[in-house]
Structure 1
């Protein structure tokens, strides 16, 4: 996994301040790196035709470049300290689009909550941000099949002194709870009965780890890969075993995928075909492994399942 962004992050925000997203890590460092690449979020792409599955794939092949909407989130899609576009989604995009005859990728940075509006207003060609697939988003865009699945995990003090293994444990033991800005884990905790107003919302996983290490909270919740990576070098904290949170009484396993404009079914289908090949050959895991993904995050989930279709 590439090194985390610098500590130039905003102060903790309360739940009412968040965007509707899994998480946001973009800060001044990332924005500076994006600027150095000469990309802007206001650049538009040519309008696509919705006839016969759209013509975007052909236009991308002719142009030789695809514009990726990213949100500056480690490990999903970000600019590293050397100003290089990386993350599980951009690296997968390079592999898939290269096989489709499009050999350059260009990042277009935006806030996570602006990814779908930016895609639909043609500021970029595809969302490459590890976006979770859910019915609300499926009503606005079309998704490729997930390239990963994800469980939740907690960062806790070494030895897990409070014995926290689920959101229900957090509630029952009145643990002090933190998670990231806009993380799905906010809703998971509330679903278990935790008061949203009592949640400490921090800018990113590094701030969450710091809160656990300093004893300001008992637990920081995030995706399994996020928590696993952030505690890797900590002498004071550890990650608990990943688990599926309960949503409406049922275990929930999320999946992240690329998103496309609704008319571009031809591009989505071509992307899916290449993704299936990468998954079957084992190349998908090889691409994602440097960002903390393991065999446990590989999946056969489909977008149709997660969209509720």
Structure 2
């Protein structure tokens, strides 16, 4: 995340659903997407849904990233993930959602230290993260895109073009796009890392870089009012030489599999009725971002 950037739009400071988030916390929860925690029993955790129903509120971990989960200029919690959470948890008997803003790299440590009940930030499902949390099935899929100057003067359409044409590349803090670029042969020390796609747009417009890499959704949204830059056509990045499509989802503690399963059951109904798309569409999602991928297949990598 993106879901930012990602990821990661925010007018706070969030970032993307990276494959490499390396924020150090303490102990076994060390780095998001990197450290591993022990396998927990699927039957553990008591009755998390019953607890949430009794409380009447579910706490959502968000990372201030537009359009995934953020506080708008009027102080209201919104974004594709919080709006979806409102609908799903209402159906599950939990009437209210409460935002708990944090940095993207602190979402998994915060979840596992019980600062909130669920990660509601459009987080990408990756094998490393699947060792630390359990994911619902993805509510969207996402390709990558570039911000380039008008006319795309260097004719870049994927990471191999960036390497081939010796383009100066930027991406966001903790974005998955870091790994994709490095995997294509771009030298990591040459990458310009900026807070989010807004900073990336500014860098391209100012000529400090040739290309900013982000998710197709965040890129196409941020360039809408730019007179100097445009978005390239979405493309599928390669991981180990194979095309890779990311999927973003809600994350739960590993002891809360029953809660995840209840969430998944409602998500499946929303997808079948097409209400899922109606919820996500106001945030810039298109039919191309709808998916029937599962968390299980994305956890395999």
| Residue 299 of structure 2 is aligned to residue 297 of structure 1 | no
CA-CA distance at 1:20 after TM superposition = 3.4
| Residue 79 of structure 2 is aligned to residue 87 of structure 1 | yes
- Unpaired runs of at least 5, structure 2: 1-8, 15-19, 24-40
For this pair of structures, how many residues does the alignment match?
Answer: 271
Partner of 1:132: 124
Instruction: Name which of 1, 19, 22 aligns with 1:20.
Output: 22
Partner of 1:188: 180
Superposed counterparts of 1:112-261, under 5 Å: 112-261=104-253
- Unpaired runs of at least 5, structure 1: 11-17, 22-48
CA-CA distance at 1:263 after TM superposition = 1.4
Which TM-score applies when normalising by structure 2?
A: 0.86
SS of alignment partner, residue 255 of structure 1:
strand
CA distance in 2, matches of 1:218, 1:237: 10
SS of alignment partner, residue 166 of structure 2:
coil
Which TM-score applies when normalising by structure 1?
A: 0.84
Q: Is the 8 A contact 2:13 2:65 kept in 1?
A: no
Partner of 1:306: 298
Over 6 Å off, 4+ runs: none
| Residue 270 of structure 2 is aligned to residue 268 of structure 1 | no
SS of alignment partner, residue 276 of structure 2:
helix
Identify if the C-alpha distance between structure 1 residues 54 and 255 changes in structure 2 by more than 3 Å, giving closer, same or farther.
farther
CA distance in 2, matches of 1:246, 1:140: 24
| Residue 72 of structure 2 is aligned to residue 72 of structure 1 | no
Partner of 1:41: none
Identify if the C-alpha distance between structure 1 residues 130 and 9 changes in structure 2 by more than 3 Å, giving closer, same or farther.
closer
Instruction: Name which of 245, 255, 280 aligns with 1:288.
Output: 280
- After superposing the two structures, state which structure 1 stretch, 107-116 or 293-302, moved more: 107-116
Partner of 1:108: 100
CA-CA distance at 1:9 after TM superposition = 6.6
Identify if the C-alpha distance between structure 1 residues 113 and 52 changes in structure 2 by more than 3 Å, giving closer, same or farther.
closer
C-alpha RMSD over aligned residues: 1.9
CA-CA distance at 1:54 after TM superposition = 3.6
Q: Is the 8 A contact 1:54 1:265 kept in 2?
A: no
CA distance in 2, matches of 1:50, 1:217: 47
SS of alignment partner, residue 163 of structure 1:
coil
